[in-house]
Structure 1
């Protein structure tokens, strides 16, 4: 076998080095000369033997079925058949009657296989032949046959003959051969090594295999290779190597150690093949199996794989997700009218439009024909799937321009959500398909598989649409809820609260439309409108000679960015409002977002003269640490802690702790949601500064608040 032959070659070269004592290169050159002389002498001896007719140059080639495709002059002399008689014959015509029928010439799937077999000459004489096999491959690296070198072995090969034959096999092999000594220095390579790596013998002999190291493998991988080199057993696998020109290439490698007479590792040999073509073919096959050839998008097979993985994670983390099936309308008629090429181009354009409407984490796939699939692997709320469906439908609202054609298409979208509609990919696709069919029949842009989800999603979108109209049609209004001093009973401020007066449904609760505004990004427009309106109203009161206490305006976390100080300066300047007349109220959730950036923005606002209040204190991520870091002047006790006063022991303890802490930090305390005299008395005794609640007044329009100020309305402490 090849491994044994290499071991014998190494033993001979090692003995030669010991005997000669010259440099490695000189010794190898002498060994090559000796092998060449031995080969020539053996050929001369066989030529003198007229009865043998053997030729060490005998060679034939076979296809995978065993039929002869090449037959050289050496084979003709060995067997007596001219090429015209041998070509096209099955190799079995050389077999003896007692052979078992297995094609020995095709049994080895790798280069370097060897065998000694009996074969019949044309004369009928049966001879022993040694076969040296080399695998033939096509351009893609797939096996296509075998090259067989043959030598007559009427008597056993001597050690010198075997070494000569093995050396020739190694040199002619398509596999690269790399041999190192005990110090890991390269002592021998073959021509395939140079062809694959680009390194000549002069550039590699005496160096270490690090010459080919790519640097892409981790320490654990290198340890396994090192163990094989140290004699812990052969290692087979794939390694990424580096050619002389710097190019990385994948290689299939076998590494084994050779031991001397004392059992010590004297050499290591590596056999490797460049499998770049195989890898490229694998990648092409993988792409063909998992991607749509027309649009380049994942196909249903890949979508199913990714969805299945996501569902496993969703079950573990109790997360929500959705699957959308999008059916494109009018595609068939366009293809019938303008041709399938235009239809295909249109499909590709639609895929690109859909991709721009989705997040990077969302999966867009082409299922078949005119259908696309969209996997939303992680969504906060189920209704968010409806928002995505609306975006996809919106991308097709305008005609798509293709060369000379302006093409209008539409879509119907079916949505299934997990875990409600199933936790198996197949079930979710079926349910989304059913919803798509219903959407087509109902001529609806989208439908959920669940009717309840349909109603919730449609209500969500209705609110969003009408809220946008409210901004344009002057349906929004600010109400003001007074803040009252618990020392004097006088009004010392107010909180501006947004109200939506719907032309049909009347006053819409902020609890209904504010969450929708947060989810859709409309909160930015609403927040800017509130700031503008509050400053406009403060200026109007100033022009009416009314001395106004500070007006508090709520800020969304989305508004709190680096541009906020500039926006505030602009709106104050335009309405000629002093910063001391505006207080900004923020929530605790804002404080956990990037402390350094938030503190910097707050400091800019405070430097402008604006005051900051922390709203709903104690309901979110309450931390005493950030009360020291942030320039907050006012704490507001949330109504959830006020409602149980003075009878709920826990509420009393929390309120007392907040007031005590704020006093130590010299912060003003405002209690929200105060509705009874008992609550007011308890808070006043604690030392709370202000209250805000129905005990004094509910939120009122600007005119009513102005009237309270002019009339000097006060809180009656003695009321019970």
Structure 2
């Protein structure tokens, strides 16, 4: 008996040779054969073979058999899969809740099905497969798997391409060989406002803005005529007349004979990008608070001026202006007021300058002014005076009238430098010197300034290393009673033993430490070392008088009492064994917080001395407020005693005032017997100076105490 398929083929050949009734009979037999063939191809007659990719499932979806073909397709060995649920093969995002292999759950009458699904291989790769599923009531389900063919038909491709063009975010414009518009997409209408009815049959001149010159239009037309693709930016015009920037690509399409049949343009509205680019440019080149050029733009503009200066031989100047008191105003009234004040200063400066001058904000409270061309060096000084004059009167901000000042550093190019970075650095050096000057609020840069600045940086760097390398030590200068002649105390003085330059004077490195903030580390080290030494002397059974330690105004904060108490406790030193010496600059700050900190220190049992009295802003009003127990007369008032009338008058006034306030008086810098005699006659309590001893190392000071060294000219 013939196979059903072979029977169909035989009847088909027979039908070709017959006519009339015979043909009808043969066609009837062919229909029956086709039905038989269709039945032969039903899934019910599928049977696995050795080369098939098949697997078996029970009625709940668990794998019961796994063919070699399935192992090859999915990468799982039989022992890895059998007993696992078919969900093992599902992709992780197949979470719609259905299981294709259990088709009969939702179609109870069905015994076979065919479907296309995604499945996961052992290596994680996701593949598309065809599943032919046959339900076998007794055995479960037989699943035959074949790789799905994902290629598209030509019609599908055409439809897909059309859909892509229509749904594209880019506008699409297609013209024919006569430059008439034959097709547009929806984005074209969205961007330009022109509908298909308004644009089809027209030319692209519909979008012409008229802002491009003939040369530009010739390049675009050349691309439309087959001169090669063109990419660029064009200003187009919408239907409502609005101009807009667009990014465009234009290409020609040729037919089979090579003639240009169409031209297509892809374009995007880049208005948003242009706006964003403009914002980015502004953020990159302008200060957001004042709206002035920032350092980046200043560098560009001055760099261009420097290039021109080298060619022409002209001169220019760069001024750096540091505004004072902004920080204090912000702390008091709020940063909003401080910012508004700074912006107003920028407006005042702008009104004081020429149109061609560049005003920029550097950072913090600093401006920079570039005078791109000046005839004489002195002209920059005239501008500096105008800027300072603009700040002479209080500035109205909100409900406040606020007064600020400024320090200005001036550098001239190409005399002082040939690049922007060097000029700003030189101007900064001049600003620092102007801030220290009492004669002028603006200074021109000089090489001498530069050398001093470099020395300052060198000292700062080496001083930091000194803290780490144990190069610091304390010397002790005795304080001697003018009544008994005995040592009644000592001042701990910091010394720096430099590995190359030997002992460095405190007058060299202390100002640097104050300016850079290193004084905090130095002050902490001095207190720690003094307490350690006092404890060492006590352990050596040496009765030591109080040791005075100098405090910087920078150290004076709310945490100072706690820090001192911790060091005292660490070394087992009593508070009355350490005296604290402060300077008048701290008293000028005279706030309630400072007084509260002083009272805490006194309550701990510590004595406070006012050092270098008379050199600053001291007055009875200050002394009445603060719990000071000792006044130290500065050496500048002692040096002229007893022959300088003014020095004698000042010393007498200080001693009298201290006596009235029941404060102890110590005279510093006493070097002669005549000075000592005059001070003793005034009623001064103690002296400190080379007449008795210069500052000495700890061991030498301990020897003085053991031997009972006394002042030779004291009363006995």
What is the TM-score when the length of structure 1 is the normalising length?
0.43
Which one has the largest radius of gyration? 2
What is the TM-score when the length of structure 2 is the normalising length?
0.43
